[in-house]
Structure 1
Amino acid sequence: MQHQEEHRRHEDSREEDASAEAGDQPAVTDSKVSSDAAEVLDDIDDVLNEIENPQEWVAGFVQKGGQ
């Protein structure tokens, strides 16, 4: 019985440590995610602008009929 209580206390302290560590890290904000997404979309636009026929180029990557 004493062993179970010690084990339970040890698990509780690990959970407290994990929650404290998670609280120390800054949360990712929506504006940061939006900013990152905008940067990726800008990069895609740059690549597509360099291609002569981007619609045809993108269509070449579309999977057709179980390929």
Structure 2
Amino acid sequence: MQFKHSFKVWLLTLLLFVVTGILVGACLNAVFAIADYYPNLPKAHNPTDLFLYPLGFWLDYGFACLQWRCEAGHQ
């Protein structure tokens, strides 16, 4: 019974990391594409921050969930 509970937690954790990886990859792809294709874009018209803020959020969220998962495993 405990394995099924643990399996569900690991499956949801894996899903979280897959979604986080996709979003981080999309944000990094957008940031580097903007930097490569529009190097002279003024700061006022540069949408890079639009992709950097979610990137920071998802990385922080992923590390927080990983820390929570590691702490839950030691109980």
TM range, smaller chain: 0.3 to 0.5
The structure with the largest alpha-carbon Rg is 1
TM-score, normalization by structure 1: 0.37
Give TM-score, length-normalised by structure 2.
0.33
Judging by fraction of residues, say which structure has more helix: 2
Which of the pair has the greater relative contact order for Cα pairs under 8 Å at 6+ separation? 2
